[in-house]
Amino acid sequence: MHESEILEGKLILAVDDEEDVLDIIEEELSEYANVTLHTATTFEKAQQYLVSYTYDLVILDIMGVRGFDLLQIANAARFPVVMLTAHAFTPEALKKSIELGARAYLPKEKLGSLVPFLEDVLKLSYQSTWRKALDQVGTLFNKKFGSDWRQSEEDFWAEFEKKLTLDEGAILK
């Protein structure tokens, strides 16, 4: 068993229409003491959880469970949200995740590094989390879509990059 002070005692909601993905998330988190994980495979169940509990972190699939609608509900409740995707791994989905207030965006192929990723989301500032996430995601996007994948939304990305360079402490206290 690993000890993670950051995850200690946290209540996390994971939503995905694929049971095997939820099983992987549960397995990844099971090595950490005192993490409570709620899971949902439908929009309705996830919505019920979001209005019934106060989550330390929410992990949302984009496709199959109306992830962007759930993101808006979670964001309104001020829960930090990580978007998780395989099928919606596109520049458009990344942009929409940012616009709707997600704290980070993780491709399902990176589920093996879920715990350190979640720790970063919980301990780093918004800017630092996105800088780190974009470093990883950007490399994958460059391979899949070419190095000019941001070009069609150049103004958005330039403005977002400015936000990421704001002088904010990297570690939340």
User: What CATH number corresponds to the domain at position 157?
Assistant: 3.40.50.2300
Out of 55-64, 89-98, 161-170, pick the least confident: 161-170
Q: Please tell me the distance from the alpha carbon of residue 152 to that of residue 161, in angstroms, as a whole number.
A: 15
Q: Is residue 3 part of a domain?
A: no
Q: Is residue 136 part of a domain?
A: yes
Ranges assigned E (strand) in the chain: 11-15, 36-40, 57-61, 81-85, 104-107
Q: Is residue 169 part of a domain?
A: no
Quick one: pLDDT at residue 1? 39
Quick one: pLDDT at residue 166? 57
Q: Is residue 172 part of a domain?
A: no
Assess contact for 15 and 40: CB atoms under 8 A: yes
Q: Is residue 39 part of a domain?
A: yes
Assess contact for 30 and 52: CB atoms under 8 A: no
Q: Is residue 6 part of a domain?
A: no
Percent of the chain with pLDDT over 70: 91
Q: Is residue 5 part of a domain?
A: no
Interacting residues of 57 by C-beta distance below 8 A, sequence separation 6+: 10, 12, 13, 79, 80, 81, 82, 118, 121, 122
Out of 11-20, 39-48, 83-92, 108-117, pick the least confident: 83-92
Domain count, the chain: 1
Quick one: pLDDT at residue 173? 41
Q: How confident is residue 5, by pLDDT bands cut at 50, 70 and 90?
A: confident
Give CA separation, 131 vs 3, 135, 148, 153, in Å.
26, 6, 18, 18
Model-level pTM? 0.85
Domain that holds residue 138: 11-164
Cα–Cα nearest to 31, from 115, 119, 133, 93: 115
Q: Please tell me the distance from the alpha carbon of residue 73 to that of residue 70, in angstroms, as a whole number.
A: 5
Q: Is residue 171 part of a domain?
A: no
